[in-house]
């Protein structure tokens, strides 16, 4: 069954952290695209839009996937972990039972551009030990041919396989660059929820007619197996897919659990100083 466009969403302008300007798509409307909780695109050439960064803040019950396209970010956390992300790097953080971390620009000027995706964790993993996976740009698998360039963060495309393996939502996370009038074809599990985030350019998806898809646009896709994308101009997009968790969710700011009582417990733990296990 061919995958088609289900819904087209223009991101809203928002700010987070200490005033970092960003475009938010998942996390507004739709509020949740199981298992994905939030998608932010942050980026600016004006340092005033990002210099204040994301000072220390807590998380519990989710995974955060930060992907840098341009600029440098420094990460520090409550467990003593430190890392510096540069263009092309990914930090995949499983917050589990709880982590307090900060993400601050390691630059005073220049262009910053990247994405943060939040993935829900199932109840049985929400209180697991936090875990970090740092993926350096130069160690990631890439498929290249005359039509396209596909960077594989999770999942598999042709012979290129991403470093994220044996994950409960069986994610696909590709960064695709497609030449004008060329096609990108890929097969996906029919039970998964899939979306495209178009970064720049213009594309057509599937066989059915749909509204114009151009620049900074979230496209939720119908369930199916065969995905066909045609570039109307040179285009760059993220393809992200995952298996739904199908559990009740309760949200409280940076905490995502299954019940309101668990959210209240997280808040209490944070104020009591018992948040980090």
Domains of the chain with bracketed CATH: 5-272 (2.60.120.10)
Q: What is the DSSP string of 90-132?
A: EEEEE-TT-EEEEEEES-SSS-EEEEEEEEE--GGGTTSPPEE
Q: At which residue do the structure tokens 């005359």 appear?
A: 146
State what percent of residues in the chain have pLDDT above 90.
72
Res 63: pLDDT:
96
- Supply the DSSP symbol for 87: T
Cα distances from 105 to residues 14, 58, 81, 96, in angstroms, run: 18, 18, 16, 25
Res 174: pLDDT:
98
Whole-angstrom distance, CA of residue 75 vs CA of residue 259 = 30
- For the cut 90, the answer to whether the pLDDT of residue 231 exceeds it is yes
Helix (H) or strand (E) holding 265: helix 260-272
Pick from 41-50, 216-225, 244-253: least confident: 41-50
Res 57: pLDDT:
87
- Supply the DSSP symbol for 170: -
- For the cut 90, the answer to whether the pLDDT of residue 20 exceeds it is no
What's the mean pLDDT when you consider all of the chain?
A: 92
pTM for the full predicted model: 0.94
Res 30: pLDDT:
67
- For the cut 70, the answer to whether the pLDDT of residue 236 exceeds it is yes
Res 218: pLDDT:
96
- Supply the DSSP symbol for 268: H
Res 205: pLDDT:
97
Q: Nearest-CA neighbor of 80 among 94, 95, 64, 99?
A: 99
Res 77: pLDDT:
80
pLDDT digits (tens, 9 = 90+) for 2-14: 999 999 999 998 8
pLDDT digits (tens, 9 = 90+) for 189-225: 999 999 999 999 999 999 999 999 999 999 999 999 9
**Regarding predicted confidence, which is higher, 29 or 261?**
261
Q: How many CB atoms lie within 10 A of CB 28?
A: 14
- Supply the DSSP symbol for 258: S
pLDDT digits (tens, 9 = 90+) for 101-160: 888 888 777 888 999 999 999 999 999 999 888 899 988 999 999 999 999 999 999 999
Q: At which residue do the structure tokens 């340092």 appear?
A: 47
pLDDT digits (tens, 9 = 90+) for 81-99: 788 899 999 999 999 999 9
Q: Band the pLDDT of 18: cuts 50, 70, 90.
A: low
Joined tokens for residue 52? 């204040």
Joined tokens for residue 169? 């939502």
């Amino acid at each position: 069954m061919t995958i088609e466009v289900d819904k087209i969403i223009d991101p809203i302008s928002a700010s987070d952290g200490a005033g970092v300007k960003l475009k938010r798509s998942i996390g507004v409307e739709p509020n949740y695209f199981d298992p994905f909780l939030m998608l932010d695109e942050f980026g600016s050439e004006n340092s005033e839009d990002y210099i204040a960064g994301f000072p220390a803040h807590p998380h519990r019950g989710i995974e955060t996937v930060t992907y840098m396209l341009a600029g440098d970010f420094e990460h520090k956390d409550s467990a003593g972990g430190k890392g510096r992300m540069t263009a092309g790097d990914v930090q995949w953080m499983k917050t589990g039972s709880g982590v307090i971390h900060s993400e601050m620009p390691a630059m005073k000027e220049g262009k910053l551009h990247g994405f943060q995706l939040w993935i829900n964790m199932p109840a049985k993993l929400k209180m697991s030990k936090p875990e970090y996976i740092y993926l350096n740009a130069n160690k990631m698998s890439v498929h290249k041919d005359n039509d396209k360039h596909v960077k594989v963060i999770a999942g598999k495309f042709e012979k290129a396989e991403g470093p994220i393996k044996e994950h409960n939502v069986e994610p696909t996370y590709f960064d695709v660059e497609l030449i004008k009038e060329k096609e990108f074809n890929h097969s996906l599990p029919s039970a998964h929820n899939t979306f495209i985030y178009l970064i720049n350019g213009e594309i057509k998806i599937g066989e059915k007619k749909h509204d114009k898809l151009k620049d900074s646009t979230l496209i939720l896709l119908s369930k199916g197996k065969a995905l066909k994308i045609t570039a109307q101009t040179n285009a760059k997009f993220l393809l992200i897919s995952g298996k739904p968790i199908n559990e009740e969710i309760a949200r409280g700011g940076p905490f995502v659990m299954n019940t309101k009582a668990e959210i209240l417990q997280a808040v209490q733990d944070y104020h009591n100083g018992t948040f980090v296990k």
